[in-house]
Amino acid sequence: MLCLGLDIDPKKVPSALSGSARGLFEFTRNIIEATSDIVAAYKPNLAFFESMGVEGYSLLRWICDRIPDESVVILDAKRGDIENTSAQYATALFKTLNADWVTVNPYMGYDSLRPFLEYQDRGVFILCLTSNKGSEDFQTLDCGGQPLYMHVLDKAVKWNTNGNIGLVVGATHPDHLVTIRERSNNMPLLIPGIGAQGGALERAVVDGTANFTKTALLNVSRSALYASSGANYAEAARKKLESLRDRINSLNPAGRHTTPDKIDPASETTQVMTSTPSASPAPSAPHGSSPEGA
């Protein structure tokens, strides 16, 4: 159930690796190799790569190419614009970077999301109730007798005709998670906020999965990625994730298996696949060669 957010911040990476794209690639590759048997998905956040310019985009492509095929790649982009612009975003994320899932912002309505949803073999996580404190500025406002985020949820259920929609729901809102899980049918949930943002892991696990009967991914980023600033950073990240995995497993009284080997957007109910993942094109090689020694 674990998703590792790849928020690659040169200021937090061990100093020996922070000064070049090659060093950042080595840091991320070692993290992936140390954790790929523990986590179900990796979630690079595009902002951390876009801020580096051309080198950052190349770094993102190198990293996406190194994520194992059996792992889900979620590109955290939070895109959403007029339809012709969203079509270009969808091409960039699904074709150029070969993401399995992306995050999108529903504020501009259905036509802004349609280009993403038309990729029926790929998935779209719609922002529903986010983990940041500012989510209360708009998402919880009363709109006709129910909060705005519930209107987003109901629209997402209506739009899910291809079975490729999920919802982003922050672990920092545990009191709302049960209702969201009930009304979202079988849509998978992406639940951030259990690490540095302080969300309650136990409630996120049990309520987010309806007691291990539905699919959810629990995202952790900074607390695992930067568990150590020393040479043992990859080992420290693994230990942090092992601890989270063990806590999750301890909450599963029936031993139900809900850990996604691959969340299949093409599935009618978007349920967990426990066999071979559906085939998709391998990530294309990045422009130019990979960092020296990679």
Distance CA 268, CA 273 (A): 12
> Which helix (H) or strand (E) is 2 found in, with range?
strand 2-6
Which residue type is seen at 223? S
Single out the catalytic residue among 11, 43, 78, 239. 78
Quick check: helix, strand or coil at residue 189? strand
How many residues would you count in the chain?
294
**CA–centroid distance for 24 within its chain:** 20
> How many other CB atoms are found less than 10 A from the CB of residue 262?
21
Q: Is 250 exposed, middle or buried (0-12, 13-18, 19+ CB in 10 A)?
A: exposed
- CA-CA distances (angstroms) from residue 51 to 8, 74, 80, 88, 162? 11, 19, 19, 20, 34
Q: Is 95 a catalytic residue?
A: no
**CA–centroid distance for 238 within its chain:** 18
Which residue type is seen at 40? A
Closest to 52 (Cα-Cα) out of 97, 11, 92, 85:
11
- Residue 239 zone, left/alpha/beta (φ > 0; ψ -120 to 50; rest): alpha
**DSSP codes of every residue in 41-87:** EEEEBHHHHHTTTHHHHHHHHHHHHHS-TTSEEEEEEEE--SHHHHH
Contact assessment for residue 222 and residue 196, using Cβ atoms and an 8 Å cutoff = yes
Give me the active site residues, please. 78
